[in-house]
Amino acid sequence: MIRSSRNPKAHRFTESPVLQLALQGWRSRLIGVLLMLSFLLLIVWAFYLQVVNREFLQGKGESRYLREIEVLASRGRITDRNGDILAVSTPMRSIWMIPADARQMSAAQKRKLAALLQVEVREIDGRLASEKGFVYLKRQLPPEAAEEVAKLKLPGLYQEQEYRRYYPAGEMAAHVVGFTGIDDKGLEGVELAFDHVLVGHAGMRSVIKDRRGQIVEDVVAMRPPRDGRDVRLALDNKIQYLAHSQLKAAVLESRAKAGGAIVVDTRTGEILALANWPGYNPNKMEKRSGAHLRNRVVTDSFEPGSTLKPFVAALALENGKYRFGSLVDCAPGRLTLGGATITDAHPHGTLTVAQVIQKSSNVGVSKMALSFTPREMWEMYDALGLGQVPHLGFPGEVAGRLRAWKNWRPIEQATMSYGHGISVSLVQLARAYTVFARDGDLLPLSLTKVEQPVLAGKAVFSAQTAREIRAMLEMAVQPEGTAPQARVASYRVAGKTGTAYKVEGNAYVKKYVASFVGLAPVSEPRLLVAVMIDEPSVGRHYGGDVAGPVFSRIMGGALRTLGIPPDAPTVQVAQSVSDKERL
């Protein structure tokens, strides 16, 4: 039997003396303060992490899953004046891999991959052995082939979009359009000259990737891509094809080293065609190297020969020292100056100024040139743009060679009157001849389309002088002239031949440059064509025989292509001469 204690001094459980032990007052306060400080520290740390240092921590977190992906922009197109495409970027795919992950591929998978990429298995093995974290396996793969690669679902293999440049005109316009590298940057021609216009600006987007680098979610497009702008050239595809095909045929027929041709619209200065041979196909990257890449019309200079004679005659008419029918004694077909002798290919007696140009007399034009001071003749050449870069904006433009007049000796002044001792590019020569097509105005040339005709250029000669020289040039293509093969059926044509020795080292060698520059229709000049054949080695080497027929075919085809109506039948030479003698 249990009995309850009635002892008044007995303690209840809730009144245990242990529980009744009380802490000293300062200790309880200390614990309270410590607890409060701990909570305050946690609050401050949370504020620091979530407010003060938020961007750093968020960046660290995002770096483990968030990526910024570049979105490529397309390069602008290059078109001819009518909108026909000369260069365009087509979408392609690049295959790249992380070697450490891709090593899991089996031998069978490698063989399938090699077949799709058209490479050897050992090439894939070589890339897999790389210690790099990123290795390209194949650049610029067609999208169809890239889709087949994606279906294999190989470890460590990834794809990205890029562009490849395609040139529909091929070698026909290669020297003008140029080409880009594998990174879509311009390397030659218009692609290089207008790279700042054509190049696009890549965009950017944020994506979430898993630990294997695969995109699992698009987050936001941070910056949209901006495609490059198109460039519209002055070229006419049909005339360009005509010039290229005729030049190529002429170079091959004469077994020449090279050749060039240019077609200019004399109303605007637009270059409607610019052809070179030998050529290349810009779509074949492995063959884009060597001398055949040179745009010789712009980057090569040569001694122009007799094509400069009309300018000396124009200076003589302009200064009033000679008239159209003034007589020049060219007998006996040679002229000795300072121990050197100038000769004519065919000796002549007394000729009019017009006949000096028609029959291309070196003696006659030398005597006219020596009636001027060296400075007068130099200033005329300088005004025509000789010795100066043409400023087409084309890479590699040359200025040619025009020495300072103070150093000219009489024999040098005489030889420069018929195109020796001076060098020009074909584009410079074509531009200089615009003064005869435009009544004395020198016209700037343009690679890009010009919307409005150029009303006035730089005045070099008077309109009267230009018209008289045009009549002389028309005489030069008649049977009594040096270039009857340059005539065009149903059109009046005016032009001048050039035949010059080449310089190798410091001496002339028996190698020739044959050239012809002319315009049509004479009644209202619209087109100007210049042709140069370098080192013809089969048949004759004179400009009228080699370059004249090329001019005729290009000019005739271009006039018909543009629908320019034929002018009146060519007047008889005798009538033309007698009319001009009355001026």
Say how far apart CA 458 and CA 491 lie, in whole Å.
28
Q: Beta-carbon neighbour count of residue 2 at 10 Å?
A: 3
> For residue 315, is it within any domain?
yes
What is this structure's pTM? 0.80
Residues ≥6 apart with Cβ < 8 Å to 46? none
- Tell me which residue range forms the domain holding 515: 237-581
pLDDT tens for 503-551 read 888 888 989 999 999 999 999 999 999 999 999 998 789 999 999 999 9
Burial grade of 255 (CB within 10 A; 0-12, 13-18, 19 or more): exposed
Are 524 and 504 within one domain? yes
Say how far apart CA 516 and CA 473 lie, in whole Å.
11
Identify the pLDDT of residue 2: 46
Are 181 and 303 within one domain? no
Identify the pLDDT of residue 58: 62
Are 398 and 302 within one domain? yes
Please give the single-letter amino acid code of residue 563: G
What is the three-class DSSP state of 367?
Answer: helix
Q: What interhelical angle do 309-318 and 463-476 show, nearest 10?
A: 140
Q: Please say which residue of 216, 232, 248 terminates a domain.
A: 232
Identify the pLDDT of residue 333: 92
94 bridge partner residues: 160
Are 226 and 253 within one domain? no
Identify the pLDDT of residue 579: 42
Distances (CA, A) of 316 to 394, 469, 520, 572: 34, 11, 24, 25
Cβ distance 432 to 384 under 8 Å? yes
- Average pLDDT (186-209) is 82
Give the HSE-up count for residue 320: Cα atoms under 13 Å, Cβ half-sphere.
0
Q: Which of 78-92, 119-133, 245-259 has the lowest mean pLDDT?
A: 119-133
Identify the pLDDT of residue 582: 33
Cβ distance 178 to 204 under 8 Å? no
Strand-pair category, 271-277 with 327-329: unpaired
Highest mean pLDDT: which of 78-87, 147-156, 564-573?
78-87
Torsion sign across C-alpha atoms 375, 391, 421, 532: negative
Residue 252: pLDDT band with limits 50, 70, 90? very high
Are 214 and 349 within one domain? no
> For residue 257, is it within any domain?
yes
Q: Beta-carbon neighbour count of residue 301 at 10 Å?
A: 18
Identify the pLDDT of residue 189: 93
Please give the single-letter amino acid code of residue 397: E
Q: Which of 28-42, 65-79, 137-151, 386-400 has the lowest mean pLDDT?
A: 65-79
Say how far apart CA 434 and CA 427 lie, in whole Å.
11
- Average pLDDT (155-176) is 88
Residue 121 predicted with pLDDT over 90 = no
Are 221 and 357 within one domain? no
Distances (CA, A) of 362 to 369, 377, 401: 10, 16, 21
Are 435 and 418 within one domain? yes
- Average pLDDT (204-229) is 62
Domain CATH number, residue 86: 3.90.1310.10
Domain CATH number, residue 387: 3.40.710.10
- Average pLDDT (393-414) is 93
Nearest to 312 by CA among 303, 301, 321: 321
- Average pLDDT (55-65) is 58
> For residue 127, is it within any domain?
no
Task: Give the H or E element holding residue 204.
Answer: strand 203-209
Q: Please say which residue of 170, 200, 232 terminates a domain.
A: 232
> For residue 19, is it within any domain?
no
Highest mean pLDDT: which of 7-21, 109-123, 290-304, 429-443?
429-443
> For residue 389, is it within any domain?
yes
Place of tokens 């909108």: 83
Identify the pLDDT of residue 580: 42
Residue 1: pLDDT band with limits 50, 70, 90? very low
Highest mean pLDDT: which of 53-62, 96-105, 503-512?
503-512
Strand-pair category, 157-166 with 135-141: unpaired
Q: What is the dihedral of CA 42, 45, 50, 56, to 10 degrees?
A: -150
Are 548 and 575 within one domain? yes
- Average pLDDT (176-182) is 91
Task: Give the H or E element holding residue 147.
Answer: helix 143-151
Radius of gyration of the chain (CA): 40
Q: Largest Cα–Cα distance of the chain, in whole Å?
A: 170
Are 205 and 261 within one domain? no
Are 308 and 214 within one domain? no
Number of domains in the chain: 2
Highest mean pLDDT: which of 220-224, 386-390, 566-570, 574-578?
386-390
> For residue 118, is it within any domain?
no
The residue among 15 and 121 whose pLDDT is bigger is 121
Residue 570: pLDDT band with limits 50, 70, 90? very low
Residue 496: pLDDT band with limits 50, 70, 90? very high
Cβ distance 152 to 109 under 8 Å? yes
Q: Which of 187-191, 367-371, 451-455, 533-537 has the lowest mean pLDDT?
A: 451-455
- Average pLDDT (154-164) is 81
Identify the pLDDT of residue 317: 96
Are 398 and 447 within one domain? yes
Cβ distance 443 to 454 under 8 Å? yes
Say how far apart CA 239 and CA 556 lie, in whole Å.
10
Residue 306 bears catalytic tag: yes
DSSP state of 278: S
Say how far apart CA 310 and CA 319 lie, in whole Å.
14
- Average pLDDT (548-572) is 87
Say how far apart CA 519 and CA 443 lie, in whole Å.
14
Measure the N-to-C terminal CA separation of the chain; round to a whole number of Å.
Answer: 164
Highest mean pLDDT: which of 218-222, 343-347, 371-375, 569-573?
371-375
Residues ≥6 apart with Cβ < 8 Å to 5? none
Say how far apart CA 420 and CA 503 lie, in whole Å.
10
pLDDT tens for 278-324 read 999 999 877 777 888 999 999 999 999 999 999 999 999 999 999 99
66 bridge partner residues: 208
The active-site residue out of 306, 360, 446, 515 is 306
Q: Please say which residue of 215, 232, 249 terminates a domain.
A: 232
Residue 28 predicted with pLDDT over 90 = no
Say how far apart CA 333 and CA 344 lie, in whole Å.
5
pLDDT tens for 377-392 read 999 999 999 999 998 9
Place of tokens 């899991």: 104
Identify the pLDDT of residue 103: 81
> For residue 421, is it within any domain?
yes
- Residue 1 token pair: 């039997």
> For residue 109, is it within any domain?
no
Are 289 and 194 within one domain? no
